[in-house]
Amino acid sequence: MNIVWGGEHQPAEDVRDLMSRAGDQALSAESVDCDAVEVSLSFVSEDEIRALNGSYRDIDRVTDVLSFPQYTDVDALRAAVLAAGGAALIPLGDVVICTARARAQARDCGHSAEREFVYLFVHSLLHLLGYDHEDDMDKRRMRAAEEATMAKVNLAR
């Protein structure tokens, strides 16, 4: 997967490499050609994510991550990849991570910031693939996909 990295608050290169590997694992698990898609991944301040929440969700608060999908589900994405036939990268969507919130959550949960950044990216990537956690069944399905991906990059709980 091609990741377009943005923002002034990015984690270290080794963490970004791990995020990229986890992203490829999540896509492969959904039978999506990793080399055919692109995602925009930005790291922002608390003020910036609060503003995005206000603009796009009518919520005036800081959150850890936001996802802006280009497709409604993974089948639509697979169809777009097939139609492109490798001629162009297919934009999967945008992910925005609040760096300060991610670091604070890592401390609160007692694990590394590395794990938190990777988890938030995997979580958002699954949203871009059509996963949700609105009801218990969807939540269990999404959590299982998250944990499977995290285990593949040696960051299981």
CATH number at residue 53: 3.40.390.30
Q: Can you give the pLDDT at residue 125?
A: 96
Is residue 157 domain-resident?
no
Other Cβ atoms closer than 10 A to 83:
9
Phi, psi (deg, nearest 5) at residue 12: -60, 160
Measured CA to CA, the distance from residue 157 to residue 155 in angstroms comes to 6
Judging by DSSP bridges, how do beta strands 2-6 and 37-44 pair with one another? parallel
Q: Can you give the pLDDT at residue 61?
A: 96
Q: Can you give the pLDDT at residue 126?
A: 96
Give pTM, 2 decimals: 0.94
* Structural tokens at position 150: 């995290």
Is residue 34 domain-resident?
yes
Q: Can you give the pLDDT at residue 35?
A: 93
Task: Give the domain extent around 106.
Answer: 2-152
Is residue 142 domain-resident?
yes
Measured CA to CA, the distance from residue 156 to residue 23 in angstroms comes to 15
Q: What is the pLDDT of residues 105-153, one digit of tens each?
A: 999 999 999 999 999 999 999 999 999 988 999 999 999 999 999 999 9
Q: What is the pLDDT of residues 83-99, one digit of tens each?
A: 999 888 999 999 999 99
| Burial state string for 6-37 with b = 16 or more CB within 10 A and e = fewer than 16 | eeebbbeeebbebbbbbbbbbbeebebbeebb
Judged against a pLDDT cut of 90, whether residue 157 lies above it is answered with no
Is residue 109 domain-resident?
yes
Q: What is the pLDDT of residues 13-40, one digit of tens each?
A: 999 999 999 999 999 999 999 999 999 9
Using CA atoms, how far residue 113 sits from 11, 76, 103, 106, 110, in Å, is 9, 33, 5, 5, 9
Which SS3 state, helix, strand or coil, does residue 125 take? helix
Work out how many domains the chain is built from and give that number.
Answer: 1
